[in-house]
C-alpha cells in the first residue's frame, strides 16, 4: 500500500485498516501509540519517518481529545517539515455536548483546557494545511479523494491486485456438506485395521510374526478370536497338511467333500468340484492333448517333443 497512518487508539487502528483498504491501494505501515498520558512514542516520531520514506505517499493521523501533540503536527505542516498529504481527524468532538468534564476510556483522553478538545485541534490542523473531514463518518471519503488525486497526478501508481490466498474449509464443516469423507477402514470382531498396525483378535501382526504362532495360531486367532493351546494349533496344521492338494485328493475332489460336509446335495457337491477345473487343474488334460496332437501332426519323435517343450519352458 501507499498510505501510512498513526493512531492514538489501538482499537481504532483496526477501523483505519478497514477504511484505508477500501478506499486506497492499502496500508504501507500503521502504528498505534496508545492512549496513555505519556506514550512511549509521539505522533511526530512516526509522521517524520513516513515523510522520509519514499514508499509512503500519504499520511493519515487519527488523534483524540486530550493532549497537545497534534499542535506539533500543525507546526511541522506550517514550517515545511511535512510536505506529503496529511489527512487528520481527532475523535471525541462529542465532549462539547456534555456540561461537565468527560473522561473517555484512555488515560490521556481528557481535555483539561479548551486547547485540548478535539474540536479545537481539528480546526488547528485544518488551518495548518491538513485535510480534515467534517466528521469521522466522512474520513473514508476524504482519504479516497486524496488518494485519487495522487493517482491522477502520477504520484501513486497502483500495483496489480494480488488475489488473496484461499482459506481452507474447516474439516468438520466440509464433512457435514459431504465434500470430503473419512477414509474407509474395516473393523470386525476378528481383525482391526484402523490403526497403524493390523490386529488379529487384538494381537498386532508384528507379534504374530515375531512369536512364530504359525498357521495354526493364525487360524485360532481368526476363527476362534483367541490364542488356543499349542496342541490345538498343531491339530489345525495337521488338517491342512492332510487336505492339501497332493494328487488323488485334488482340489476338485476336496471342494466336493467340503460341500458335502456342509450339507449340500450330491449334484451341488459334484458341480462345485467340476467348477474348479481350469488350466492348472483338470483342464491341463485338454492342454496336454492339444500339444500331443500338434507334435504328432509335425512328425516329432516323443523325445524331440519333450526336449522342445522343455526349451520353451512349458514343462
Instruction: State how far the alpha carbon of 112 is from the alpha carbons of 44, 67, 71, 72, in Å.
Output: 22, 8, 15, 18
Average pLDDT over residues 11-20: 92
pLDDT of residue 187: 65
Q: How confident is the model at residue 103 (pLDDT cuts 50, 70, 90)?
A: low
**What is the DSSP secondary structure assignment for residue 169, as one 8-state letter?**
P
pTM, to two decimals: 0.52
Q: What is the pLDDT of residues 156-191, one digit of tens each?
A: 998 888 888 888 888 888 888 888 877 766 667 778
Alpha helices in the chain (DSSP H): 10-23, 43-52, 69-78, 118-128, 139-153, 171-176, 205-210, 214-224, 230-243, 251-261, 266-274, 284-297, 302-311
Instruction: State how far the alpha carbon of 32 is from the alpha carbons of 86, 144, 147, 293, 296, in Å.
Output: 17, 21, 22, 99, 103
Q: What is the pLDDT of residues 19-70, one digit of tens each?
A: 999 999 999 999 999 877 778 899 999 999 999 999 999 999 998 887 888 8
Is 301 known to be catalytic?
no
Residue of 106, 131, 246, 254 with catalytic role? 106
Superfamily of domain 3-153: Succinyl-CoA synthetase domains (3.40.50.261)
Computed over every residue of the chain, the mean pLDDT equals: 85
Q: Where do the structural domains in the chain lie, given as residue ranges?
A: 3-153, 185-244
Tell me how far apart the alpha carbons of residues 122 and 110 are, in angstroms, rounded to a whole number.
Answer: 16
Spatial neighbors of 17 by CB under 8 A, at least 6 apart, are: 27, 30
Strongest mean pLDDT among 136-150, 189-203, 266-280: 136-150
Cα 241 from chain centroid (whole Å): 54
Average pLDDT over residues 75-101: 84
pLDDT of residue 253: 80
Average pLDDT over residues 96-125: 69
Average pLDDT over residues 102-124: 70
Q: Which three cell numbers stand for residue 3?
A: 498510505
pLDDT of residue 130: 94
SS3 191: strand
Average pLDDT over residues 283-308: 84
Amino acid at each position: 500500500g501507499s498510505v501510512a497512518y498513526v493512531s492514538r487508539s489501538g482499537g481504532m487502528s483496526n477501523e483505519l485498516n478497514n477504511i484505508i483498504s477500501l478506499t486506497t491501494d492499502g496500508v504501507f505501515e500503521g502504528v498505534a501509540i496508545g492512549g496513555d498520558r505519556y506514550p512511549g512514542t509521539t505522533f511526530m516520531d512516526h509522521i517524520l519517518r513516513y515523510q522520509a520514506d519514499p514508499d509512503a505517499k500519504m499520511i493519515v493521523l487519527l488523534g483524540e481529545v486530550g493532549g497537545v501533540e497534534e499542535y506539533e503536527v500543525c507546526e511541522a505542516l506550517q514550517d515545511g517539515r511535512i510536505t506529503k498529504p496529511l489527512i487528520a481527524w481527532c475523535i471525541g468532538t462529542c465532549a462539547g455536548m456534555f456540561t461537565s468534564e468527560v473522561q473517555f476510556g484512555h488515560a490521556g483522553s481528557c481535555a483539561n483546557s479548551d486547547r485540548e478538545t478535539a474540536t479545537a485541534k481539528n480546526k488547528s490542523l485544518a488551518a495548518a494545511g491538513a485535510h480534515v473531514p467534517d466528521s469521522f463518518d466522512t474520513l473514508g471519503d476524504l482519504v479516497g479523494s486524496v488518494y485519487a488525486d495522487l493517482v491522477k497526478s502520477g504520484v501513486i501508481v497502483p500495483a496489480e491486485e494480488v488475489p488473496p490466498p484461499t482459506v481452507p474449509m474447516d474439516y468438520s464443516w466440509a464433512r457435514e456438506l459431504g465434500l470430503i469423507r473419512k477414509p474407509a477402514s474395516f473393523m470386525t470382531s476378528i481383525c482391526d485395521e484402523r490403526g497403524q498396525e493390523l490386529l488379529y483378535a487384538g494381537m498386532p501382526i508384528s507379534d504374530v510374526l515375531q512369536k512364530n504362532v504359525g498357521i495354526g495360531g493364525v487360524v485360532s486367532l481368526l476363527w476362534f478370536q483367541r490364542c488356543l493351546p499349542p496342541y490345538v494349533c498343531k491339530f489345525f496344521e495337521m488338517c491342512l497338511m492332510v487336505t492339501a492338494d497332493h494328487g488323488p485328493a485334488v482340489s476338485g475332489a476336496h471342494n466336493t467333500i467340503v460341500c458335502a460336509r456342509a450339507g449340500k446335495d450330491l449334484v451341488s457337491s459334484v458341480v462345485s468340484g467340476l467348477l474348479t477345473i481350469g488350466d492348472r487343474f483338470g483342464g491341463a488334460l485338454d492342454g496336454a492333448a492339444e500339444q500331443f496332437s500338434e507334435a504328432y501332426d509335425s512328425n516329432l519323435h516323443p523325445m524331440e517333443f519333450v526336449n522342445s517343450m522343455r526349451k520353451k519352458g512349458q514343462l
